Amino acid sequence: MITTGSNSWHERAKISIPGGVSSPVRAFHSVGSHPRYFVRGSGSKVIDIDGNQYVDLIGSWGPMILGHAHPAVVEAVVKTSRDSFSFGAPGPNEVLLAEEIIARVEPAEQVRFVSSGTEAVMTAVRLARAATGRDLIVKFAGCYHGHSDALLVEAGSAIATLGLPNSPGVTVGATKDTLVLPYNDEAALRELFATRGHEVAAIITEAAAANMGAVPPEPGFNRLLADLTKSHGALLILDEVMTGFRVSAGGWWQAFGKPEGWEPDLFTFGKVIGGGFPLAAIAGKKEVMQLLAPVGSVYQAGTLSGNPVATASGLATLENCTPAVYETLNLRATQIGEGISNALTGAGVEHSYQTAGSLFSFFFAPGRVTNYAEAKLQDTTRFAKFFHGLLEKGVSVPPSAFEAWFVSAAITDADVDQVLSAAEYAARIT
């Protein structure tokens, strides 16, 4: 597989862009290689600058739920773009998209658009602190909520400890009001709320962890979060940037939370709601959302927030996410996930195949992974070998052992066959 063009562009990029990339995982450092530079996508396929074609199991990390360049989305984007790319003023598309989100997610009574998941989370945290008059935020090790200072933290040595900055440039002061707990640890949660529940403004959690690989919440875990926050006067922020409108028409909450009988106070959405454009949102109960300016005094603003082209793309994407699309996503995720797992088992490769709705991943570890500490014990060197085996056979998957995989509704039977044939080859050399 020729990659001279990608290599050349990456060397050129490193001169003008730190590390040659605009987001770290793209650099391929964790798999010991160089990135592919993609120039075109159509349906289930992506094509790099050297003309190599791949079945895409990244999908821009989630947004390309319908596949690349879906005709209805392209039409909406082109039509809107002809009238201008941005006004910095209100427009119909953001109203229509907000209404679509509210119609799909019952606890979401109002929506505020921003341009990134990081912005959405930052605003949700600010709202929670304003609503409760408290400072402490609880998050879970291995759950990623963007790169705002207060949440770019790691756990200390105690079960429940103040977050410690895990990036230079983040001060201890910025994270002093963030507590980090092990994911899926009910005992640690109960202990924290028994002693400090009156100080907690909010718990923030991924609806299902997807930034340490696919690690779903244990049965009853999210329900416990809702119960504890409600009983202690705190808020629950459900981060559905990854799972929102991908796991089901109403995201993780509709598929799993609603049947369990609990609701969050705030959601953060991204990825699918922009259809590949920079767009994210905070949504939640009206009484909390109305604390935002200009109705309330909690400040948030952005020139490109609710951008007409981005909201047109998101609206067209959601409108085309029919029940049949979700059936296809679940089918393809199962076919590919189980098929790859069978290939690994057949080759004698120890692993754990894990799912979170239609998201899935593979841990090269002996047992099921339930938290970040266990995820870090996997054999990442073996994952890198498997990754390169797939890439060599024309299958593009996340270049990290700590990421979820995504399917699109555009994947065909032939694509599935190609992926599973590639998996058999990759498993043999892993």
Distance of CA 341 to the CA centre of its chain: 23
Question: Left, alpha or beta for 88 (phi > 0: left; psi -120 to 50: alpha)?
Answer: left
425: annotated active-site residue: no
Domain spans, the chain: 71-319, 322-352+362-370+424-430
Give the chain's end-to-end CA distance (angstroms, integer): 19
Per-residue pLDDT of the chain (430 residues; tens, 9 = 90+): 899 999 999 999 999 999 999 999 999 999 999 999 999 999 999 999 999 999 999 999 999 999 999 999 999 999 999 999 999 999 999 999 999 999 999 999 999 999 999 999 999 999 999 999 999 999 999 999 999 988 888 754 333 344 557 788 888 888 889 999 999 999 999 999 999 999 999 999 999 999 999 999 999 999 999 999 999 999 999 999 999 999 999 999 999 999 999 999 999 999 999 999 999 999 999 999 999 999 999 999 999 999 999 999 999 999 999 999 999 999 999 999 999 999 999 999 999 999 999 999 999 998 999 999 999 999 999 999 999 999 999 999 999 999 999 999 999 999 999 999 999 999 999 9
Length of the chain: 430
Contact of 321 with 174, CB cutoff 8 Å: no
pLDDT at residue 164 in the model: 58
Of 311, 226, 305, 246, the C-alpha closest to 254 is: 246
Q: Which residue of the set 37, 54, 144, 326 is catalytic? A: 144
Q: Is the CB of residue 331 less than 8 Å from the CB of residue 219?
A: no
Q: What is the pLDDT of residue 160?
A: 37
| pTM of the predicted structure, to 2 decimals | 0.96
Dist. CA 155–CA 40, nearest whole Å:
40
Annotation says 239 is catalytic: yes
Marked catalytic residue, from 271, 326, 393, 415: 271
* pLDDT of amino acid 157: 36
Nearest residue to 75 via CA among 374, 365, 249, 313: 313
Q: Which of 56, 239, 379, 415 is catalytic?
A: 239
Q: Is 45 among the residues known to form the active site?
A: no
Topology given in CATH for the domain delimited by 71-319: Aspartate Aminotransferase; domain 2 (3.40.640)
